[in-house]
Amino acid sequence: MKYKALSFFYITLLFITQMAAEDGSRLWLRQSTEKATQVIAPHPSPTLDIAVNELRQSWKGDPVLLTLKKDKALKPDGFRIYAENGKIRVISPTETGLLYASYHLLRLQATHKTTSQSFTHNTVFPLVSNPTYHLRILNHWDNLDRTIERGYAGQSLWNWEDLPHILSDRYKDYARANASIGINGTVLNNVNASPEILSTDYLQKVKALADVFRSYGLRVYLSVNFASPMALDSLSTADPLNKEVIRWWKSKVKEIYHLIPDFGGFLVKANSEGQPGPCDFGRTHADGANMLADALKPYNGIVMWRAFVYSPSDADRAKQAYLEFKPLDGQFRDNVIVQVKNGPVDFQPREPYSPLFTAMAHTPLMVEFQITQEYLGHSNHLAYLSPMWKEFFQFVPPHSLKAIAGVANIGTDVNWCGHSFGQANWYTFGRLAWDSSLSSEVIADEWLQQTFDLGESEVLKVRDLMLQSREAVVDYMMPLGLHHLFAWGHHYGPEPWCDIPGARPDWMPSYYHKADKNGIGFNRSSTGSHATAQYPEELANQYDHPDTCPEHYLLWFHHLPWTYQMKNGQTLWEKLCRHYDHGVQQVKEFQKTWDSLEEHIDAARFKEVQSRLKTQMRDAVWWKDACLLYFQQFSGMPIPYDLERPIHELEELKQIQLPINNYECPTGELLNTKR
């Protein structure tokens, strides 16, 4: 009997342990449900019921009174929290604002900014919080076959085959996660849009998702193919000034709003990378955007028109969006927002900001960040992106933008983002979209304290690792302003030697690095493509001269000799070598830091991150060896002898060929794959 009782005890303990095991699926929403508290709402509603349930399950403080009330200091989604007579008073003009406030209270609790006692004397309150942007939108590059362009965390969440009749539990979990960080919009499908998304059958599926998301304040948007009238109803044209085309779009918009009264609007990629657009019919981007805007206007819908355009031409690719859109400034309807990538080329590990942001004073603009790590090691590399986005805001004041968008890194993987630390970038995007003044340090602390069970000293260790991680990626991939050295097709590993016969020059790494015996870098100064002239005068003058150009942009704007003397007295070649080596050494330190935390991290997530750091280490050495051995052919100079030697041969590295597939993440076992 004792043996049976003991066996039962261990079986029960094992079951409890397995049930409590971490798999990352709870994201940063790991609040305990040990203690209920009194929560009073003004009335029952789907949104307020969520707020009440969240607080009743997890809030450990004083009773909470939720109140709908207009307040001159509050935007529609904003909220005020203060202590009064032993209660926490929460005020917002909208139910969604009260929901956001509820999640904020739980965030304060989880990050130890509140106590379990009365909050009357707590320095956290009174608190007023308003979003920086009214529109805080995720862009999913999800296809209808459930593949995800630049997705590295499994398939698309949206199971179109089962919709609208079968609703995954993850749809609600997704909406909840977004509400908890203030994201209020989601574009469901790829900007390379299939016209089929606007078919009646698919709109019924979209409606089913919108119905799930609505209570969480999450509004649905769709990417649309500009030639949809031709594809779906065999119109002979998609000319935006054609009356039949205009009538088609008005009818389609009416159909959408009949199904989804709070539908947000359209995202459009037009006349870019083979996508159809108004220019195919001799019209401008403004003509196309305005036609759609007019159809959406009666329903308060918007058009987000992407400025990511470049044509096969002799013009510097970094200049082309400016050249195409600057002349259209002031010509767009007031419900059109031009969506511009943060940099002028394409989500590189480091870019100067796109000059369009300071060139279109009469056009509402929104920034497009990329949360998914297309150019930063996919979901294999740890790269905390807040410092990158904060760097952008140093040049583009947040208040100058109308909205903010982020290309999502979310898929069907159990932990949502492939890499456990990929969750931090989703979280960070939402927090910066709500409050752009938050520092990278504060956001990292918040995420860590809510995601792991760490003490203060451990949080500091991992926070420092996170804060250094993006710069480490820049160092071992493309320091000093180098960019787009990626292998053909998948943007994962290095291939500075890449030369595909018949391919566009601006798809080749050599177009960007221009390495030769005389030096390296793209001359965008007044003696080259003169891209510097697209910036405000003060910056243009600074970027135009190597001696005043910031070193981290140096080879973005200048082609310089290998012997060019850097500010620290080293030659350009030596400084380049030391950056590559420094990136590798940092990843080694990341490994040491993470390994030292084994007893503080649950086993599953510890091993997952440890394994991915090993891959990142191999990749960092791969990048360093490939780039330095290749560029050394031109420089003719030795790698400084105090640095670690390359462990590969250049010809060996040239044989590596990964699958050209936008939808899968390489495994890191790179050197076993040959041409």
CATH number of the domain to which 634 belongs:
3.90.1330.10
Give me the mean pLDDT over the 29-48 stretch.
Answer: 91
Six-digit token string for 604: 């599953």
Per-residue pLDDT of 393-409, as tens digits, reads: 999 999 999 999 999 99
Say whether both 147 and 267 belong to one domain: yes
Active-site residue, selected from the candidate residues 23, 244, 273, 516: 273
The C-alpha angle with vertex 363 and arms to 361 and 364, in degrees rounded to 5, equals 110
Six-digit token string for 319: 């200049």
Q: Over 80: is that where the pLDDT of 36 sits?
A: no
* 328 within a domain of the structure (yes/no): yes
Q: What is the pLDDT of residue 661?
A: 55
* 669 within a domain of the structure (yes/no): no
Q: Over 80: is that where the pLDDT of 1 sits?
A: no
Per the annotation, the verdict on 346 as an active-site residue is yes
Rounded Cα–Cα distance for residues 96 and 215 (Å): 8
- The confidence band for 660, taking pLDDT boundaries of 50, 70 and 90, is low
**Residue whose C-alpha is closest to residue 162's, from 188, 144, 181, 189:** 144
Active-site residue, selected from the candidate residues 71, 211, 262, 346: 346
* 675 within a domain of the structure (yes/no): no
Give me the mean pLDDT over the 410-415 stretch.
Answer: 98
CATH for 192: 3.20.20.80
Q: What is the pLDDT of residue 658?
A: 84
Angle at which helix 386-393 crosses helix 456-477, to 10 degrees, equals 70
Alpha-carbon distances, residue 617 vs 1, 377, 471, 621, 669 (angstroms): 53, 11, 15, 6, 12
Per the annotation, the verdict on 538 as an active-site residue is no
- The confidence band for 484, taking pLDDT boundaries of 50, 70 and 90, is very high
Say whether both 485 and 429 belong to one domain: no
- The confidence band for 12, taking pLDDT boundaries of 50, 70 and 90, is very low
CATH for 43: 3.30.379.10
Q: Give percent above pLDDT 70 in the chain.
A: 93
Give me the mean pLDDT over the 242-259 stretch.
Answer: 98
Give me the mean pLDDT over the 565-583 stretch.
Answer: 98
Q: Over 90: is that where the pLDDT of 13 sits?
A: no
Q: Provide CB contacts within 8 A for 640, sequence distance 6+.
A: 574, 577, 578
Say whether both 408 and 512 belong to one domain: no
- The confidence band for 670, taking pLDDT boundaries of 50, 70 and 90, is very low
* 673 within a domain of the structure (yes/no): no
Say whether both 293 and 435 belong to one domain: yes
Active-site residue, selected from the candidate residues 77, 294, 374, 544: 374
- The confidence band for 123, taking pLDDT boundaries of 50, 70 and 90, is low
Q: Over 60: is that where the pLDDT of 361 sits?
A: yes
Say whether both 125 and 139 belong to one domain: no
Q: Over 80: is that where the pLDDT of 302 sits?
A: yes
Q: What is the pLDDT of residue 392?
A: 98
Give me the mean pLDDT over the 590-618 stretch.
Answer: 98
Say whether both 122 and 153 belong to one domain: no
Q: What is the pLDDT of residue 2?
A: 45
Q: In the predicted model, what is the mean pLDDT of the chain?
A: 93
- The confidence band for 122, taking pLDDT boundaries of 50, 70 and 90, is low
Strand bridging mode 87-92 / 79-84:
antiparallel
Which segment of 260-274, 320-334, 347-361, 499-513 scores lowest on mean pLDDT?
Answer: 499-513
Give me the mean pLDDT over the 562-579 stretch.
Answer: 98
* 251 within a domain of the structure (yes/no): yes
Say whether both 256 and 359 belong to one domain: yes
Per-residue pLDDT of 195-237, as tens digits, reads: 999 999 999 999 999 999 999 999 999 999 999 999 999 999 9
* 106 within a domain of the structure (yes/no): yes
Q: What is the pLDDT of residue 657?
A: 87
The C-alpha angle with vertex 557 and arms to 552 and 559, in degrees rounded to 5, equals 105
Say whether both 267 and 416 belong to one domain: yes
- The confidence band for 664, taking pLDDT boundaries of 50, 70 and 90, is very low
Which has the higher per-residue pLDDT, 184 or 12?
A: 184
Give me the mean pLDDT over the 239-244 stretch.
Answer: 98
- The confidence band for 9, taking pLDDT boundaries of 50, 70 and 90, is very low
Which segment of 27-36, 281-290, 350-359, 584-593 scores lowest on mean pLDDT?
Answer: 27-36
Which segment of 22-26, 116-120, 373-377, 621-625 scores lowest on mean pLDDT?
Answer: 116-120
Residue the block writes with tokens 């969604």: 96
* 630 within a domain of the structure (yes/no): yes
Q: Over 80: is that where the pLDDT of 114 sits?
A: no
The C-alpha angle with vertex 428 and arms to 423 and 430, in degrees rounded to 5, equals 105
- The confidence band for 19, taking pLDDT boundaries of 50, 70 and 90, is very low
Per the annotation, the verdict on 599 as an active-site residue is no
Phi/psi at 64 (5° precision):
-115, 130
Which one of 129, 144, 162 terminates a domain? 129
* Number of domains within the chain: 3
Q: What is the pLDDT of residue 21?
A: 74
Domain enclosing residue 114, as ranges: 31-129
Give me the mean pLDDT over the 592-602 stretch.
Answer: 98
Buried b (16+ CB within 10 A) or exposed e, 195-230: bebbeeebbebbbbbbebbbbbbbbbbbbbbbbbbb
* 116 within a domain of the structure (yes/no): yes
DSSP E strand boundaries for 96-163: 127-129, 135-139
Q: Is the peptide bond before 93 cis (omega within 30 degrees of 0)?
A: no
Which ranges of 299-439 does DSSP label H, i.e. alpha helix?
Answer: 317-325, 386-393, 422-434
The C-alpha angle with vertex 332 and arms to 329 and 338, in degrees rounded to 5, equals 75
Q: Over 90: is that where the pLDDT of 432 sits?
A: yes
Give me the mean pLDDT over the 490-510 stretch.
Answer: 93
Say whether both 434 and 480 belong to one domain: no
Say whether both 220 and 283 belong to one domain: yes
Say whether both 223 and 245 belong to one domain: yes
Say whether both 112 and 176 belong to one domain: no
Which one of 418, 435, 451 terminates a domain? 451
Q: Over 50: is that where the pLDDT of 3 sits?
A: no
